[in-house]
Amino acid sequence: MITFLLAIVLLIAAYFTYGKIIERIFGVKENRQTPAYSMKDGVDYIPMGTNRNSLIQLLNIAGVGPIFGPIMGALYGPVAFIWIVVGCIFAGAVHDYLTGMISIRNKGAHLPQLAGKFLGRPMKHMVNFVAVLLLLLVGTVFVTAPAGLIFDLIGGGVGLSVIIGLIFVYYIFATLLPVDKIIGRIYPILGALLLISAVGIGVMLIATGAPVPELTLQNMHPGGEAIFPILMITIACGAISGFHATQSPIISRTTQNERNGRKIFYGMMIVEGIIAMIWAAAAMSLFYGTDLAALINSGGAGLVVSEVAFTLLGAVGGTLAVLGVIVLPITSGDTAFRSARMIIADYIKLPQLKIASRLWVALPLFVVSFILTNMDFTILWRYFGVTNAAISAIALFVGAMYLGIQYKNHWVATVPAVFMTMVALTFIFSAPIGFGLPMTVSYVLAGTGTAALTGLFAWKMKLNRAEKEFELDADTTEKAA
């Protein structure tokens, strides 16, 4: 229990300490007009309050990642706590803050545009494809996961395919309508439900004196799976997730002032890390090693969610907690499709003021996603995981380049970018869904590839620094919002 409580304290303290350091390095300009005002269009660019934006950002980035991921990561034992805390503070929250703030400085641009601008034009095309692929995988995963939870909650009273269809209908409306019509109105309420359910689980862990294991570096995974890189792939959203880089621009287009960025972007990632810690601790304390593995194998992480919720909170509280978990993927799935629409529209330069234009872009996405729902969830999750890691590395390199061009401390982003590059490449070389090579060979190849990519990054930074007219930020009016 001491390890668990200390981890929560470290996460909260990081917001007030390391979060301020990152904010100071970036250099907030409170008098700079944000895109919410300079590009206001009534659809995607709409000024919204900080608390509202914060809850929307939390729901956008959370999904089932900080719950399902930590539950599966709990198989490794307390070493998972280290990754959640260190990854969240020094990688994930930095990633989210920099992508959100750089987007604000560049008219609410999405990651493909930012990658093209700071890392080179070829990266724009590659990242555009990978980002849309990631969002399709996210949208699909976040249809099947909540559909299964709803199906179990109502005892199979409604067919699974019907539930999936109803979720898709909601996604269509949330994707097409202006951001303040559905997302801006119901997300704060759903965010409160999410927080209440997570806090309820955490409080009951403490109140009941649950046997949360203390810190150890031992790998307790029953199957003996390697901690590096599989733990980092499994626990993504609770530590660092490239998916967040696709979500932050939604809120960068509704943020009223740059000073709100630390709360919205860095702060909400810290909250997600706390949620991840709670669910990892619950899974470890209530189900030990092989018992947890058996539960996951028989009913997936969703079954563990139900067992934890009803064991700790009873019938009523358990139902509310499960509803809170159901809310997470649905409120990330809809914005995943919304982000995909916006990225594609930006790429092909198609204005989104008319609903017909939005529909033309969105419908093919839903068709492809519906087809993908027939794939096995575990396979989908692994593909999502490695794509997620790759995007996070690219987003961090964008942040590092933005800081490096200005001769600011880019290492706060460069170090986690290099680490996540190594994670993604090692997984690609070693995993069965990749090349399936021996782990030792994978380490060597991944290390070589990481070194080469890091060298290219350093070379590109030197070129960008030498370009005297490099347009770091998009022109806007220096006017208080």
Task: Count the neighbouring beta carbons within 10 Å of the beta carbon of residue 294.
Answer: 12
The average confidence (pLDDT) of the chain is 88
Tell which residue, 274, 251, 89, 255, has the closest CA to residue 194.
274
Query: What DSSP character marks residue 17?
Result: T
The confidence score (pLDDT) of residue 193 equals 74
Across 200-204, average pLDDT: 92
Rounded CA Rg of the chain: 21
Q: Which two tokens stand for residue 231?
A: 């733990």
The confidence score (pLDDT) of residue 289 equals 61
Percent of residues, the chain, with pLDDT higher than 70: 96
Question: What residue has token string 């980092």?
Answer: 232
pLDDT band at 39 (very low <50, low <70, confident <90, very high): very high
Tell which residue, 411, 339, 375, has the closest CA to residue 127.
339
Backbone φ, ψ for residue 148 (5° rounding):
-65, -40
Question: Angle at which helices 290-347 and 183-207 pack, to 10 degrees?
Answer: 160
Across 383-400, average pLDDT: 92
The confidence score (pLDDT) of residue 377 equals 62
pLDDT band at 481 (very low <50, low <70, confident <90, very high): very low
Is 162 exposed, middle or buried, given 0-12, 13-18 or 19+ CB atoms closer than 10 A?
exposed
pLDDT band at 326 (very low <50, low <70, confident <90, very high): confident
Across 46-53, average pLDDT: 92
Ordered alpha helix ranges (H), 17-156: 18-26, 35-38, 50-62, 65-73, 79-87, 93-105, 111-119, 121-153
Tell me the residue type at 256: Q
Across 13-27, average pLDDT: 98
Q: Does residue 374 or residue 167 have the better pLDDT? A: 167
Looking at the predicted structure, is the pLDDT value of residue 185 above 80? no
* Cis preceding linkage at 329, omega within 30: no
pLDDT band at 477 (very low <50, low <70, confident <90, very high): low
Domains of the chain and CATH, by start: 2-389 (1.20.1740.10)
Across 286-296, average pLDDT: 78
Looking at the predicted structure, is the pLDDT value of residue 119 above 90? yes
Looking at the predicted structure, is the pLDDT value of residue 290 above 70? no
CB 175 within 8 A of CB 362: yes
Across 69-85, average pLDDT: 93
Looking at the predicted structure, is the pLDDT value of residue 478 above 60? no
3-state SS, residue 90: helix
Looking at the predicted structure, is the pLDDT value of residue 118 above 60? yes
The confidence score (pLDDT) of residue 479 equals 46
Query: The dihedral of CA 33, 34, 40, 46: what is its sign?
Result: negative
pTM here?
0.88
CB 197 within 8 A of CB 323: yes
pLDDT band at 31 (very low <50, low <70, confident <90, very high): very high
Q: Does residue 477 or residue 259 have the better pLDDT? A: 259
